[in-house]
Amino acid sequence: MDLNEKADIAAAAMRATPGVVMYGLTLNELVGWATLAFIVLQCLYLARKWWREESGLWRNLKPKKRGQKNE
Protein backbone atom coordinates (compact mmCIF):
# COMPACT_ATOMS: atom_id res chain seq x y z
CA MET A 1 0.00 0.00 0.00
CA ASP A 2 1.30 3.36 -0.86
CA LEU A 3 0.66 6.57 1.04
CA ASN A 4 -2.14 7.66 -1.30
CA GLU A 5 -4.13 4.46 -0.73
CA LYS A 6 -3.75 4.79 3.02
CA ALA A 7 -5.04 8.35 2.84
CA ASP A 8 -8.04 7.21 0.79
CA ILE A 9 -8.84 4.46 3.30
CA ALA A 10 -8.53 6.90 6.20
CA ALA A 11 -10.82 9.40 4.45
CA ALA A 12 -13.40 6.68 3.78
CA ALA A 13 -13.24 5.59 7.41
CA MET A 14 -13.78 9.17 8.57
CA ARG A 15 -16.87 9.49 6.36
CA ALA A 16 -18.25 6.19 7.69
CA THR A 17 -17.95 7.17 11.36
CA PRO A 18 -20.59 9.24 13.17
CA GLY A 19 -20.41 13.01 13.28
CA VAL A 20 -18.72 12.91 16.68
CA VAL A 21 -15.35 12.84 14.95
CA MET A 22 -15.96 16.45 13.93
CA TYR A 23 -15.81 17.41 17.58
CA GLY A 24 -12.56 15.54 18.13
CA LEU A 25 -14.01 12.74 20.25
CA THR A 26 -12.91 9.19 19.68
CA LEU A 27 -15.21 6.23 20.21
CA ASN A 28 -13.52 5.47 23.54
CA GLU A 29 -14.12 9.02 24.77
CA LEU A 30 -17.72 8.92 23.56
CA VAL A 31 -18.37 5.68 25.47
CA GLY A 32 -16.73 7.18 28.56
CA TRP A 33 -18.90 10.30 28.45
CA ALA A 34 -22.04 8.25 27.82
CA THR A 35 -21.20 6.04 30.80
CA LEU A 36 -20.62 9.07 33.01
CA ALA A 37 -23.94 10.59 31.92
CA PHE A 38 -25.72 7.30 32.67
CA ILE A 39 -24.19 7.10 36.15
CA VAL A 40 -25.18 10.70 36.95
CA LEU A 41 -28.75 10.11 35.75
CA GLN A 42 -28.95 6.88 37.77
CA CYS A 43 -27.73 8.71 40.91
CA LEU A 44 -30.32 11.45 40.43
CA TYR A 45 -33.08 8.90 39.93
CA LEU A 46 -32.11 6.97 43.06
CA ALA A 47 -31.80 10.14 45.13
CA ARG A 48 -35.31 11.18 44.03
CA LYS A 49 -36.67 7.71 44.75
CA TRP A 50 -35.10 7.56 48.21
CA TRP A 51 -36.30 11.09 49.01
CA ARG A 52 -39.86 10.19 48.07
CA GLU A 53 -39.71 6.98 50.08
CA GLU A 54 -38.34 8.72 53.17
CA SER A 55 -40.76 11.64 53.00
CA GLY A 56 -43.66 9.22 52.58
CA LEU A 57 -42.43 7.11 55.48
CA TRP A 58 -43.18 9.81 58.04
CA ARG A 59 -46.74 10.24 56.80
CA ASN A 60 -47.43 6.55 57.35
CA LEU A 61 -46.13 6.59 60.93
CA LYS A 62 -48.81 8.90 62.34
CA PRO A 63 -50.63 7.40 65.30
CA LYS A 64 -53.97 5.88 64.42
CA LYS A 65 -57.16 7.01 66.08
CA ARG A 66 -59.09 4.59 68.24
CA GLY A 67 -61.47 2.43 66.31
CA GLN A 68 -59.52 2.54 63.02
CA LYS A 69 -58.57 -0.74 61.49
CA ASN A 70 -54.94 -1.46 60.63
CA GLU A 71 -54.43 -1.63 56.89
**pLDDT by residue (tens digit) across 32-41?**
999 999 999 9
pLDDT of residue 67: 66
**pLDDT by residue (tens digit) across 5-49?**
888 888 877 777 666 556 777 778 888 999 999 999 999 999 999
pTM of the model: 0.50
- Dihedral pair phi/psi, residue 59, rounded to 5°: -70, -30
pLDDT of residue 34: 94
DSSP 38-49: HHHHHHHHHHHH
